[in-house]
Structure 1
């Protein structure tokens, strides 16, 4: 935050807001510098006092208002030149002032600093030459020649020193701005990534809603048909009625599990057709094998009936994993697809080998396939974990799905 005070009809001086530590440091530096140079300028009279006060003030104000500090320094230099005083230690403060004009000043004051470095260097060089050479030559022609040569060398050296101070400040300013812009880009990229992830999750929810539409509609239709039939068909037949009610209860429980998968605000729309379940995995595996991908399927444990919603989620996760193995994995090595059934749970593991990373290629940007798997598994009551390829696991990408099992699967009518 800055405050600006404008001279009538002139470029404004910008006053920067400093922290308390910065303000204290600048004032302490100015006071210490003044305590050193005041005794050295004691015999220079009023012009010497003006020079010291101007340089000390400019040093203290250099970060608070670089343009104003440079103007005050010029006042001290003009008093010094008018009185014919030689260069003193107090003039060293101009280096710090020029540095701050390059590092902190606004556009007008910044270029004023560069002009001051050039003009001040020329004045300092020739003025010093005049002070030193005056009265040492035997005639006026020799004096002028010596002043011209010595003044030119001194002016070049002074311009280089003063301009270098300003340039260092400008480089610091550029680096600080580059770091700030890099930080802003980083935050913008994080926000963009978060927005993309949210969009991918929304798209996946919409796809899941379409998948679940047919499942829920079918389950409710079975319940309605079984309930209507039970009133007329099974009168007086308790065993048949009990079987019908068991079918209705199982279908209702499965439908309830599927309905819980739907979040609020999910879009309900008619799907394109019947959705694949675990019994369709054989066709998917054969399809992948026909592309040249070697899929090794193993199954252990006792199979537990799963609700249709969980079967669809598992099928889609396996389908996405095999597709990723086909696109990004090492097709010369086989893919392991393992189903491990345990009491109350199912663990599915898809393990495919990948090629070692090529240092010359940029890493692929993350898509929405992996977030989609996590979304499907979470809505089905399970979870997905990913083990990225690395030298430690011989560059294998492993997808591990944990799904609770044990719900009653509806029987078809």
Structure 2
């Protein structure tokens, strides 16, 4: 008769020990998973930070080379104008007109050099551009972000400064999607080229991804991502801020672009950069030449 209470007591103790070990193991596994995730995010942040630094010296050098070339051309044209002014005034006028245009281009490049230098970083490697986008997608996929890409319209050549600005906006948007959405987040990237401009759009499903990590049940996912009209109104009126968002906005404005970013209730986050006249802003247009 005493055997069964004793056995029950032993079984209870063993069960308690097993349960304790299971809880401890689960906590350790969660901690390991968290540490790996944090380390992975840190690695991505470091890679993106390094890429951010790696771009600047190259663009500065290219802009300086262009400025030096334009200044050399200015000197040659000025010498020609000096010799022809007395005998052929009409030619001197044409040369003077060309001098003004080349002077504006050189000054615009110099202003852009100063803008980049003021950011305080310069590293001696070539800057990334749109040709580096697929490498960026690969890095982000390796980190756990599911990236899809679509492009429409006819792409036209970009100056290095404009190309770098667009790449940085794309890079920042994908980094934010991974940081805030986490592994398993899907990011949809699209380039829409028009005759004179470009629209860059990056949409992610970070909110849904977070719900999917908690449960695979469709009803529970739907409940976790449910939103109201108030959520929609708040998303439309919210002002998103932060260092990364500010940098992306400033990069867009540098080339005549409009930048918007905000939450899509129940889905994730959306980033848009519209450059209506990017073909023209490749040159001196939109650059303050009076400073």
Structure 1-normalised TM-score? 0.36
Indicate the structure (1 or 2) with the bigger Cα radius of gyration. Answer: 1
Task: Select the structure with the greater relative contact order (CA < 8 A; seq sep ≥ 6).
Answer: 2
Give TM-score, length-normalised by structure 2: 0.50
